[in-house]
Structure 1
Amino acid sequence: MPPVLAVEDLTVTLRQAGASVPVLEHLSFSVEAGRTIALVGESGCGKSMTALAIMGLLPEGFARAGGRIRLAGEDLAAAKPARLR
């Protein structure tokens, strides 16, 4: 059975002074049905940015530069805004 949530090779960048600066690089994890995971780390290590990227709510200037985010097998990165709502 596929995982409920699968994040594969996620990279998020920040556009700064004409350059793209990576803030998350090649992050991968999955959550199986009935399981719970926790993102743990120091302040500023990317926990909130990971959650925002998964939900498609990255702040202005940030962008998903690579990777896949699947919820129940559906690729969220490819979903249209109406579908996400």
Structure 2
Amino acid sequence: MSVRVRFLPDDVVVAAEPGEPLLQVAERAGVFIATGCLMGSCHACEVELEDGTAVRACISSIPGDRPKLTVNIYEDLAW
């Protein structure tokens, strides 16, 4: 079962497999997510899911418990 991933604010949609790394899915879709340490410590890659949950994209993967996922990417100008 593939998951429909929607990246906001640009409204880019791509199909992904459960367990696939979120950064890899974003890259394949042509969506830029800022990164820093790539280990989850610096929070540079923090994005927000549709339910308001903040996750670090560098250590997160596509969940397999839902058919669609909305990811809101906000830019932190401090980075």
Which category of TM-score, normalised to the shorter sequence, fits these structures? under 0.3
From the CA coordinates, give the structure whose radius of gyration is larger: 1
Q: Write 1 or 2 for the structure with the bigger share of strand.
A: 1
TM-score (norm 2): 0.27
TM-score (norm 1): 0.26
